[in-house]
Amino acid sequence: MPDKSPRYIKIDDWYFEIKTVRALKVDKYGEPYKAIANCNINGNSMYVDGLLTKKEDGFTKQDFMTFYKFSQRLELDSFSYHRYHNGESVVKDVKIHNPHSDNSSKEIDTSEVADNFNYETSIRLVK
């Protein structure tokens, strides 16, 4: 692993590697949150698991792009998430354009990425 990885920190003889993240949508940390997701990282991919939102707050295009930007910051190649669409279980796979990678030769408009996905989720927290 290169020494500049955003997914681990070396302290003394130990490496601390980011493998699981709990994401909270909230205006101020410590307050009740509007949404929650668990993110599991394996290699260069992340799986967003247990994405739950309050009834009045769906999973928006802006929320999707936040997960996309988080994946870019960790220099991941992809992420996926599970949702129900029309009563069927669907897994969405998202390729990440990383402007810092050696394979990146062109800029990409992230609005094009977001426009290709449906953000409605049928899993909601109950008040």
Ordered by where they begin, the domains of the chain are 8-119 (3.40.630)
Q: Which two tokens stand for residue 113?
A: 């990425």
26-84 pLDDT, tens digit per residue, is: 999 999 999 999 999 999 999 998 888 887 777 889 999 999 999 999 999 999 988 77
Please give the backbone phi and psi of residue 111, each rounded to the nearest 5 degrees, phi first: -65, -30
Please give the backbone phi and psi of residue 18, each rounded to the nearest 5 degrees, phi first: -80, 115
Paired sense of beta strands 45-54 and 78-85, if any: parallel
3-37 pLDDT, tens digit per residue, is: 567 889 999 999 999 999 999 999 999 999 999 99
Please give the model's pTM, rounded to 2 decimal places: 0.74
- Closest Cα to residue 41, out of 64, 61, 60, 67? 67
